[in-house]
Structure 1
Amino acid sequence: MTQISILGCGWLGWPLAKKLIKEGHSVNGSTTSENKLPSLEASGIKAFLVALESEYVSNSITNFLAESEILIIDIPPKLREKSASLPTPSERIFVRKMENLIPFIEKSTVKKVLFVSSTAVYGNENATITEDTHPNPETESGKQLLLAEALLQKNQNFAATILRFGGLIGEDRHPVKFLAGKENLENPDAPINLIHQNDCIAIIEAILNQAKWNEVFNAVAPFHPTREEYYTQKAKEYNLNPPKFRTENSNIQKIISSKKMESVLNYQFRPDNY
């Protein structure tokens, strides 16, 4: 049994924690909502109210990390998009949060960190993207995620693995529900780069079980139909009005490759999730 701390028991962190507990691990889980604490505890999670801000970290962070060997960081940047230029130090809100967190990790028993990042660090390049592709983020959140990755990777006090997820989908979360009935949508023949919640959890389990540390993995299902094909079909499956796309060809032909992860972890995606 391994004691694991999950910073951010939200859409992914909560079901991940429940799965890890089912596999015999002990899990500390954090939330920023006091009302959520009883539900987390009822799931078998030792729950902590943790506020990680750009100015401070709540005192509960010490107990949250205590005696854990592994820390999983799964908190989104949640930033307003700014200009395409790199953020000034005063704008690096998410990065400052990581800078505040790291000293507490260094003082704790944590020796391994898994950071949930995003393929947004690559930007919109018309190519097949691998882990060797130089990141070129265009959004503010992508830029700050990349800076946060670097902070964790260069730290000598723990081993850090970076997991870059594509667009997140699940039984209760699918972009077609937002796109249904909309018209004049762009990029009809751009490929999708999605990953299902079930695969997210299974991949994290594989990293933990196989002790794949000091790595960077892209995690996107190897199924890349066009946006128009995919969302038209999904609208039918959900009994929704299909979205309508523009007729011109797309400028974006980015495909995120997960071949490294499939090879190193021997992981196989489940097509029925998509």
Structure 2
Amino acid sequence: MHTPDCAILGMGYLGKPLAEKMFENGSRISALKRQSVSANLPVNLHTADLNHPRVFEADFWQTWADKPLWFCLLPPSAVADYPALLAGWLQLARNFGIKHIVYAGSTSVYGDAARPCSEHTAPDPQTESACKIYRVEKLLRESGIPNIDILRLGGLYCAKRHPLHSLLKCSNLTGAHRPVNMLHRNRAVAALHRAAVTPAGLRIRNIVEAQHPTQYNFYRTEAAKLGLPEPAFNLGDQSGGKTVYTVYGDFADLLL
């Protein structure tokens, strides 16, 4: 499959390994990061204050004009007004005639209610961050750009950056028996790349590992792998949580 030239908004936790994968498969890459970063890749990398009201008038965007595929990996916490920034970014994409956008969203749009959640489940965003992500999903769906991929990613983890470290700072943790909806960073990058090389109109997919152990079992297993203590869960807490899965087969093999 042909890997197109691309532009990446957000060169952090997912952006750097994604750029590596795209480059290894023949893509020319432009990228934007909020702060300076070293990247041992031939990437046309710029930094910018995304909160600046005239950010989209900057000259460096011209290096994005000939990239038919754009990624958005930027989290809501990155800017003051996330939906407004992405609205401006999408307008720029339309002005350049971009044909394909891949957006790294989140399963947080389903809320916290204990229920199974597929792509056919109505979202119920409850946090400020989830509400902003869902508003951007709406902007993407209504953008008129021919190919839109909205990938609702599970909770990201890898050995270098693991949520276990935060849990170890707490005691009497709730949710011991809730199912996890996790996604290793390598699987996330593989899914982003697959979306990039298989444009298919409007596509919304849950990208979550197929197995859903309880939080207690998941984190004690991860602690053993990393040589860290087990987190202190309150095993008496019987509260439940959502289980996110995909009903489609186009990414399922990456999630086993």
**1:33-44 alignment to 2 at 5 Å?**
33=35, 35-36=36-37, 39-40=38-39, 42-44=40-42
The offset of 1:174, in angstroms, is 1.0
Q: Give the one of 208, 228, 231 matched to 1:243.
A: 231
Please say if residues 210 and 265 of structure 1, whose CA atoms lie closer than 8 Å, have aligned partners that are also in contact. no
**CA–CA separation in structure 1 for the residues paired with 2:52 and 2:196:** 29
**1:10-49 alignment to 2 at 5 Å?**
10-33=12-35, 35-36=36-37, 39-40=38-39, 42-49=40-47
The offset of 1:61, in angstroms, is 5.1
**CA–CA separation in structure 1 for the residues paired with 2:210 and 2:251:** 15
**CA–CA separation in structure 2 for the residues paired with 1:148 and 1:67:** 24
Q: Which has the higher contact order (CA 8 A, sep 6+)?
A: 2
**Partner SS, residue 29 of structure 2:** strand
**Partner SS, residue 11 of structure 1:** coil
Please say if residues 207 and 255 of structure 2, whose CA atoms lie closer than 8 Å, have aligned partners that are also in contact. no
CA-atom RMSD, angstroms?
Answer: 2.0
Structure 1 gap ranges (5+): 81-91
Please say if residues 119 and 247 of structure 2, whose CA atoms lie closer than 8 Å, have aligned partners that are also in contact. no
Please say if residues 189 and 227 of structure 1, whose CA atoms lie closer than 8 Å, have aligned partners that are also in contact. yes
Structure 1, 101-110 or 137-146: larger mean CA deviation: 101-110
Q: Which residue is equivalent to 1:161?
A: 149
Please say if residues 54 and 96 of structure 1, whose CA atoms lie closer than 8 Å, have aligned partners that are also in contact. no
Please say if residues 181 and 240 of structure 1, whose CA atoms lie closer than 8 Å, have aligned partners that are also in contact. no
Please say if residues 73 and 103 of structure 2, whose CA atoms lie closer than 8 Å, have aligned partners that are also in contact. yes
**CA–CA separation in structure 1 for the residues paired with 2:126 and 2:60:** 32
Structure 1, 15-24 or 49-58: larger mean CA deviation: 49-58
State the one-letter code of the partner of 2:48: V
Q: Which residue is equivalent to 1:5?
A: 7
Q: Give the one of 202, 205, 208 matched to 1:220.
A: 208
**CA–CA separation in structure 2 for the residues paired with 1:175 and 1:252:** 20
**CA–CA separation in structure 2 for the residues paired with 1:54 and 1:249:** 46
Please say if residues 4 and 68 of structure 1, whose CA atoms lie closer than 8 Å, have aligned partners that are also in contact. yes
Q: Which residue is equivalent to 1:84?
A: none
1:66 and 2:62 correspond: no
**1:66-215 alignment to 2 at 5 Å?**
66-78=65-77, 93-180=81-168, 182-215=170-203
**CA–CA separation in structure 2 for the residues paired with 1:258 and 1:208:** 19
The offset of 1:124, in angstroms, is 0.7
**CA–CA separation in structure 2 for the residues paired with 1:184 and 1:265:** 36
The offset of 1:236, in angstroms, is 2.4
Please say if residues 95 and 147 of structure 1, whose CA atoms lie closer than 8 Å, have aligned partners that are also in contact. yes
**CA–CA separation in structure 2 for the residues paired with 1:141 and 1:205:** 25
Please say if residues 4 and 197 of structure 2, whose CA atoms lie closer than 8 Å, have aligned partners that are also in contact. no
C-alpha distance 11-159 of structure 1, shift in aligned 2 (>3 A): same
| Identity rate, percent | 24
Q: Which residue is equivalent to 2:250?
A: 264
Structure 1, 208-217 or 131-140: larger mean CA deviation: 208-217
Please say if residues 180 and 243 of structure 1, whose CA atoms lie closer than 8 Å, have aligned partners that are also in contact. yes
**CA–CA separation in structure 2 for the residues paired with 1:152 and 1:181:** 38
Q: Deviations over 1:209-268 (max 9, x none)?
A: 2223310010010111111111122222222221121132432231110342xx124533
How many pairs are equivalent? 253
Q: Give the one of 50, 53, 60 matched to 1:52.
A: 50
Q: Deviations over 1:8-64 (max 9, x none)?
A: 11110111011100001111111122x32xx23x31111122333273424145324
TM-score between both structures, scaled by the size of structure 2: 0.91
State the one-letter code of the partner of 1:44: P
**Partner SS, residue 230 of structure 2:** coil
